[in-house]
């Protein structure tokens, strides 16, 4: 009888160890899936931001070609070039600065964080972003 009880205890411990190992493995796999999914979403957001900013830059350059100068404000583009002021991928209006001394401009988004600075989705993007360095 003692042997049977000892065999059951060893079997129970073995099953417990197997169950815990399976649980740890499942948590590890789930963590990797969540990490990869968030990395994929972040990568998609970077691509969408780049394309979105580039489309606004194209319109601004078209405006300059038609009018001989850059707009002082984005609102100058509404009507003929935009129906409304464009928004970033987080549905926030783009910011625009006309740089008089350089006859240039900066079109930018504050990212998902909506404040200057940050990393990943919280990061600022503009028409001067080196997209090769963004990940």
pLDDT tens-digit series, residues 52-104: 888 889 999 999 999 999 999 988 988 888 888 888 888 888 889 999 888 89
Q: How many CB atoms lie within 10 A of CB 57?
A: 14
State what percent of residues in the chain have pLDDT above 90. Answer: 13
The answer, yes or no, to whether residue 125 has pLDDT greater than 80, is no
- Does the pLDDT value for residue 5 go beyond 70? no
Whether the per-residue pLDDT at 134 is higher than 70: the answer is no
Which pLDDT score, from 0 to 100, does residue 111 have?
74
Q: Residue 92: which region, alpha, beta or left (left: phi > 0; alpha: psi -120 to 50)?
A: beta
The whole-angstrom distance between residue 54's C-alpha and the CA centroid of its chain comes to 16
Contacts of 89 (CB under 8 A, 6+ apart): 45, 48, 49, 52, 109
pLDDT of residue 8: 54
Q: Which domains does the chain have, with CATH numbers?
A: 2-129 (3.30.700.10)
Give the mean model confidence (pLDDT) for residues 19-40: 58
Determine the Cα–Cα distance for residues 57 and 55; give it in Å rounded to an integer: 5
Q: Over pLDDT 70: what percentage of the chain?
A: 59
């Amino acid at each position: 009888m003692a042997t049977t009880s000892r065999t059951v205890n060893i079997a129970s411990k073995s099953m417990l160890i197997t169950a815990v190992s399976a649980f740890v493995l499942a948590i590890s796999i789930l963590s990797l899936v969540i990490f990869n999914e968030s990395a994929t979403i972040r990568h998609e957001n970077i691509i969408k931001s780049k394309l979105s900013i580039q489309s606004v830059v194209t319109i601004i350059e078209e405006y300059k070609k038609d009018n001989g100068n850059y707009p002082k404000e984005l609102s100058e583009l509404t009507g003929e070039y935009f129906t409304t002021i464009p928004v970033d991928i987080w549905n926030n209006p783009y910011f625009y600065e006309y740089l008089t001394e350089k006859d240039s401009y900066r079109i930018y988004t504050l990212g998902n964080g909506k404040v200057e600075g940050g990393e990943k989705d919280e990061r600022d993007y503009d028409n001067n972003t080196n997209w090769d360095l963004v990940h």
